[in-house]
Amino acid sequence: MDLGEGLRQAIAKLTRSAIIDAKTIKEFNKELQKTLLGADVEVELVLKFTKDIEEKALKVKPPSGVAPTDYITNIVYDELVSLMGPTYQPQLKKQRILMMGLYGSGKTTSTAKLAKFYQDRGLSAAVICCDVTRPAAYEQLETLAKQANVGFFGIKGETNAAKIAKEGYALFHDKQIIICDTSGRNALDENLIGELKRVADAFKPDEKVLVISADTGQVAGKQAREFDSAVRISGVIVTKMDGSGKGGGALSAANAANTKIMFIGVGEKLSNLQPYDANKFIGGLLGIPDIESLIDHVQSAVKEAGLSPEDMQTEELNFETFYTQLKAMNKMGPLKNLFGMMGAPDVPKEIAEKGEEKLKKYKVIIASMTKEERVNEKELRDSGRIKRIAMGSGTTEKDVHELISDFSKMKKMFGTLKNDRNFKKRFSNMM
């Protein structure tokens, strides 16, 4: 059970309680402790967290008109924000950023993601490969830089990282964002500290960012303290937040070490890097809808798919327009993440995965249709066309019929909503 699921179950159990008294709160706190410890949050932090909740829940009366369960849920929300750390606001200005981290932290990928993040917001960006110890580090960052459409510099075979940093900065001095990737080690040792100091002297960074993997859990605090003591860090990026049950432990440990959480990595794609927003993160854990992030996510996916907003707006739903929308959905990542943004994080994994498989299959089937068939689905009444499409897409005739059936239901719903003025008004207001 992940952190969010455990928290939601504990709160759901509390809301079913007929009376909120000291016994109920203690039982609730036991559930919270079990969940937080399972997410690798430090014991001392868990005990303080639950003690603060108990004191506020029992010693302070809820405001007039607020139900006790709602009041306690709000206390949990505020305490979680305090536990995990404050929101970070990136500065959209000219700056040099030095990336640091141990092996396996996701440092090189995060370097490219960060460059793309700033470039997508109108700042010219470039990356410098100063990782002179890891094989293929040069090729990896070069490939990622091309994908992110940002500048790249490195000197293949050069072992003097400070020299690379100096020459890279000279080359990209006109860029607004320059990010320098550095070597890692299995642990922070004297060799790594010395190399990082030499690179910093040559590069003169405005920010020194430590990249930490979420699966390190509470060890993140120790790493942050050690790096800060050795080379003074500005903050951390926590990666792999989408796939580790220890993400909460890593965030809380970094926050407890008085280290600023700057960004979190929430997926493998270059666009899957987000400034750390405490309210959104905790809201996601508790199942609170995040419409703003959902809209941003959709817009980013549409752009990444090479589509324009006009491509996604249609007065007529046919297989051609549906195919365009499927291409955008393909860029949005796992359906479970989208359900989470909509406030439904507990949709069973198997259902979300089944939905993804079906959409992928539908995309392949539509790709095997002719232009005429995509625009006019009546053409698909011909059994010969069904057979040809099934063979061309590597699916069965049953799969093609299932798509046509689902599409017919979708089109009927689309027609109903299109003619519903109240729905249009509500949707426009929401947007």
Please report which confidence band the pLDDT of residue 322 belongs to, taking 50, 70 and 90 as the band edges: confident
At 291 the pLDDT is 44
CATH of 291-430, one of 1.20.1440.230, 1.20.1260.120, 3.40.50.620, 1.10.260.30: 1.10.260.30
User: Quick check: 51 pLDDT over 60?
Assistant: yes
CA dihedral sign of residues 108, 109, 110, 112: positive
Q: Which of 125, 232, 134, 135 is nearest to 180 (CA)?
A: 125
At 16 the pLDDT is 83
User: Quick check: 211 pLDDT over 90?
Assistant: yes
Q: Which of 141, 10, 17, 130 is nearest to 76 (CA)?
A: 10
425 vs 422: CA distance, rounded Å: 5
Q: Please state which CATH class domain 3-84 belongs to.
A: mainly alpha
Strand partners, 264: 238, 274
Domain spans in the chain, listed from the N-terminal domain onward: 3-84, 95-286, 291-430
Please report which confidence band the pLDDT of residue 416 belongs to, taking 50, 70 and 90 as the band edges: low
Whole-number percent of the chain with pLDDT over 90: 52
Please report which confidence band the pLDDT of residue 430 belongs to, taking 50, 70 and 90 as the band edges: very low
At 258 the pLDDT is 92
User: Quick check: 405 pLDDT over 60?
Assistant: yes
User: Quick check: 351 pLDDT over 90?
Assistant: no
Query: E strands within 183-252?
Result: 207-213, 235-239
Strand pairing of 151-153 and 207-213? unpaired
- Across the chain, mean pLDDT equals 84
Residue 369, classed as helix, strand or coil, is coil
Length of the chain: 431
Please report which confidence band the pLDDT of residue 44 belongs to, taking 50, 70 and 90 as the band edges: very high
Side-chain-facing half-sphere of 93: CA atoms under 13 Å = 4
Mean pLDDT, residues 380-395: 89
Mean pLDDT, residues 268-287: 87
User: Quick check: 35 pLDDT over 50?
Assistant: yes
CA dihedral sign of residues 214, 215, 219, 223: negative
Under 8 Å between Cβ of 181 and 145: no
Report CA Rg, the chain: 25
Q: pTM of the full predicted structure?
A: 0.70
Identify the helix (H) or strand (E) that includes residue 335: helix 335-341
User: Quick check: 326 pLDDT over 80?
Assistant: no
102 vs 223: CA distance, rounded Å: 9
Range of lowest pLDDT (137-141, 208-212, 281-285): 281-285
At 135 the pLDDT is 87
136 vs 270: CA distance, rounded Å: 19
Name the more confident of 325 and 91. Answer: 91
Encoding tokens for residue 307?
């589509």
Residue 69, amino acid: T
CA dihedral sign of residues 134, 139, 145, 148: negative
379 vs 373: CA distance, rounded Å: 6
User: Quick check: 330 pLDDT over 80?
Assistant: no
Please report which confidence band the pLDDT of residue 192 belongs to, taking 50, 70 and 90 as the band edges: very high
Range of lowest pLDDT (89-93, 112-116, 256-260, 406-410): 406-410
CATH of 95-286, one of 1.10.3720.10, 3.40.50.300, 3.10.129.10, 3.60.15.10: 3.40.50.300
210 vs 102: CA distance, rounded Å: 9
Strand partners, 203: none
203 vs 95: CA distance, rounded Å: 11
At 295 the pLDDT is 47
Mean pLDDT, residues 37-61: 91
277 vs 85: CA distance, rounded Å: 9
CA dihedral sign of residues 217, 222, 225, 226: negative
Q: Tens digits of per-residue pLDDT, 61-120? A: 777 777 788 888 888 888 999 999 999 999 999 999 999 999 999 999 999 999 999 999
DSSP sequence for 281-332: HHHHHHT---HHHHHHHHHHHHHHTT--GGGG--SS--HHHHHHHHHHHHTS
User: Quick check: 296 pLDDT over 80?
Assistant: no
Mean pLDDT, residues 366-375: 88
User: Quick check: 428 pLDDT over 60?
Assistant: no
